[in-house]
């Protein structure tokens, strides 16, 4: 998809690897100014933005388990760009343990972390973004990178908190779409299936191995992160107004609903 995003400023969270890195790269290629969030892997985020023109891309670090750092991240983004046009809520965490059979201490730790990073942090950023658009009397777009596990559950028992957290932030994103469509504020959820990311590879290792997971996919292949990124660029353009509120599945026909 070829879309010109010049003049737009886009936040991409979790831009160090996987879907986030591919999305940050695609936004740069489309001409957007990109505020790229990273947690600990600065080198990964720098690599994703390697083709950016001078002053086109900016890196901002934050630990999204800490709401004070989330707020500081937003303030720095505004200081850099002045305004944000598109928020891509991609950053997330999925621990491979913390299921029902694990010790209660591990269960509690994983649930607390998943809710902080996967729900509270993106919801806080979405709140800041929507309020800024309402205050300015202008439109904007939130693109949430969700997961098919929010509707089908996870085959990894340790990912129960992850599945629940993805469902929670998806519902919050849809609520923004429903209540602010008349304000020109658009909100979408992209729900990928098995994407070629380190997170998916680690999950596959706990659910029979990569070959076993691939055998369940009609196309016999994992979704490339670049396909998610291309869709995010299309949605960021703002032409797909009547898609607002939608959950868009990208899973190669592995889950049809």
Residues with a catalytic annotation lie at: 162
Q: Are 6 and 29 in contact (CB under 8 A)?
A: no
State both tokens at 140.
Answer: 């904007």
Strand, helix or coil at 213? helix
Q: Are 56 and 109 in contact (CB under 8 A)?
A: no
What distance in Å separates the CA atoms of residue 204 and residue 206, rounded to the nearest whole number? 5
Q: Nearest Cα to 39, choosing from 128, 127, 117?
A: 117
Helices and strands of the chain, counted as H and E runs: 10, 7
User: Running DSSP on this structure, what letter comes out for residue 90?
Assistant: -
Pure H helices in the chain: 18-29, 42-48, 67-81, 104-115, 121-136, 149-152, 160-180, 198-205, 210-215, 225-237
Q: Are 101 and 211 in contact (CB under 8 A)?
A: no
């Amino acid at each position: 998809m070829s879309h010109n995003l010049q003049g737009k400023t886009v936040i991409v969270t979790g831009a160090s690897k996987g879907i986030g890195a591919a999305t940050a790269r695609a936004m740069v290629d489309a001409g957007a100014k990109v505020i790229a969030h990273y947690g600990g892997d600065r080198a990964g985020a720098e690599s994703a933005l390697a083709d950016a023109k001078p002053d086109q891309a900016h890196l901002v670090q934050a630990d999204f388990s800490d709401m004070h750092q989330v707020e500081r991240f937003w303030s720095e983004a505004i200081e850099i760009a002045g305004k944000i046009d598109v928020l891509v809520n991609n950053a997330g965490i999925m621990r491979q343990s913390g299921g029902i059979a694990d010790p209660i201490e591990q269960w509690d730790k994983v649930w607390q972390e998943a809710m902080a990073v996967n729900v509270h942090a993106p919801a806080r950023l979405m709140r800041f973004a929507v309020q800024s658009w309402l205050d300015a009397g202008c439109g904007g777009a939130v693109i949430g990178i969700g997961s098919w596990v929010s509707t089908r559950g996870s085959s990894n028992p340790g990912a129960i908190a992850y599945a629940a957290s993805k469902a929670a932030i998806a519902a919050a994103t849809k609520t923004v779409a429903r209540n602010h469509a008349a304000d020109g504020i658009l909100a979408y959820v992209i729900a990928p299936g098995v994407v070629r990311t380190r997170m998916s590879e680690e999950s596959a290792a706990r659910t029979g191995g990569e070959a076993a997971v691939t055998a369940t996919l009609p196309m016999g292949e994992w979704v490339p992160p670049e396909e998610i990124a291309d869709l995010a660029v299309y949605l960021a353009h703002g032409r797909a107004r009547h898609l607002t509120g939608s959950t868009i599945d990208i899973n190669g026909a592995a889950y049809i609903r």
